Every structure is written in C-alpha cells, then in structure tokens.
Amino acid sequence: MFYYLPYRFNPIEVPPMSKKVITRDEWERKLKDVKITKEDMNKLIMNFLVTEGYVDTAEKFRIESGTEPGVDLATITDRMTVKQALQSGNVEDAIEKVNDLNPTILDTNPQLYFHLQQQRLIELIRSGKIEEALEFAQEELAPRGEENQSFLEELEKTVALLVFEDVKNCPYGDLLDVSQRLKTASELNAAILTSQSHEKDPKLPSLLKKLIWTQNQLDEKAAYPKINNLTTAALDDPVV
C-alpha cells in the first residue's frame, strides 16, 4: 500500500521579465524594410477625402496625383448638402433632399428615419414651440415607439426635456447639444454612402486606432521609439 504525504511548496518570487530595448537606429531600419507604395498612400488619402465629403480637395488631389476617386464627385456634393442641412437644424430640408437623392434610403432604414424625426422634435423644443412639439411627438413618434421599445425609451428622454425649465442642465440636456445634430448627420451620411456602395467609414482613422492598439500591446514587451503625438507622427526615444 502506498501513502501520499503532503508536500508543502514554498512560493518562489519570480523576477519580472526585462523588456527588450530597441534603439532608434534599429527601429528606423525596420521601418524602412516596410514597403508602402505611393499609389497605396494616395488611395488612402482619396478614400478619406471622398468619405468625409471634401469634394473640392478631392478634385484637386485627383488632378495632382492622378488618383481616381472611384465615385462621381457630384454625388459627394449632393451628400454634403443633405448633411449640412441636418447639421444646421433644418431636418425637414434634409429629409426632402435625401428622398430626392434616393427615396429607398429612409424606406429601408426605420431606425435612421426615427432618429431624423426625433431630431425634428428636438429642434421644435429648442425653438420653444412646446405645443407643436407635443403634437408632433404624439402623431409622428409615439406610434413608432409602441412598435419598438428602444424607440420608446429615446422618445421618453426627448419629451422629458419639456418638463424642465432649465433644459440645458437637465439629465437629458445633451440632446440639445450640437453634438446630437452631428451624431444624427453622421448616421445619415453613412446610410447614403452605403446606398452608393461606398464604405461608410474612412480607412485612415481605423488605421490610426490599430496603431494605438498595437503600440499598447508592444509596450508590455519592449521599449522602443514610440509615436505619442499622432499629429506630428514623431518618434520619441524608448523609455528604459
């Protein structure tokens, strides 16, 4: 018969692993080994200009670099007209323009249409048209809220603005901020881009997010020349 006697292990303190140090010269040599063509960089820039709606700059860049935008630049002007109308608070005009551009966009996107109508309600409240706002909420938004719980919750928050005398400092005062207009305009802009078979988000910001994520992962393993300022893209010496 065998007996197993308990054995007590004493914990051993394991020293932290030292990070690998990569010098600036070594890092720059590695960067030079990465081959990125000028054509690819130009396409990346054009993608940003087209997606964000910088039509004049896109046209100049097309002429100077020979990079084709991949879309009719006239459609960018139409899209920006819709977006600017919404950003200025003229929701009805934005809806009319997007329907002229492509009537199926709102027909096939009930969430977007609700958010546009919600923005109309916000603009009525902003203008102090209380009775008109209540009537609009009851006739246009309440029926949609009955069909969708998330719509109902958003409607309740918006209507709650009418309860407070100082609406800007109420719990839902951020709905009256310009950022709410920009949020709705961005959603509408993305829907138009999708209807035109174009990417709804530019690639450049996504690449910058990946850069930040990659650096954060590498920070745990190495000390290396790091980009801390994305505006200048300057390499800072490794912190040992």
Question: What pLDDT, in 10s, does the model give residues 49-76?
Answer: 998 889 999 999 999 999 998 888 888 8
115, 215: one domain: no
43, 138: one domain: no
59, 80: one domain: no
> Is the residue at 8 inside a domain?
no
- 220: helix, strand or coil: coil
Residue spans of the chain under pLDDT 50: 1-5, 7, 9, 14
124, 57: one domain: no
What is the per-residue pLDDT for 189? Answer: 92
- 78: helix, strand or coil: helix
What is the per-residue pLDDT for 191? Answer: 94
189, 88: one domain: yes
166, 57: one domain: no
What is the per-residue pLDDT for 201? Answer: 83
129, 171: one domain: yes
Parallel, antiparallel or unpaired: strands 222-223 and 20-21: parallel
What type of residue sits at position 98?
V
What is the per-residue pLDDT for 204? Answer: 87
170, 180: one domain: yes
Tokens of 23: 């010098």
What are the residues facing 21 on neighbouring strands? Answer: 223
What is the per-residue pLDDT for 5? Answer: 45
R_g of the chain computed on alpha carbons: 27
What is the per-residue pLDDT for 238? Answer: 86
The model's pLDDT over 177-193, given as tens digits with 9 standing for 90+, comes to 999 999 999 999 999 99
What is the per-residue pLDDT for 65? Answer: 94
80, 51: one domain: no
Dihedral angle over CA of 134, 138, 140, 144, nearest 10: 130
Model pTM score: 0.73
Name the residue with tokens 């097309």.
62
What is the per-residue pLDDT for 17? Answer: 60
What is the per-residue pLDDT for 8? Answer: 52
- Contact call for residues 20 and 238 (beta carbons, < 8 A): no
**Domain span at residue 227?**
25-36+209-236
- 189: helix, strand or coil: helix
d(CA 223, CA 206): 24
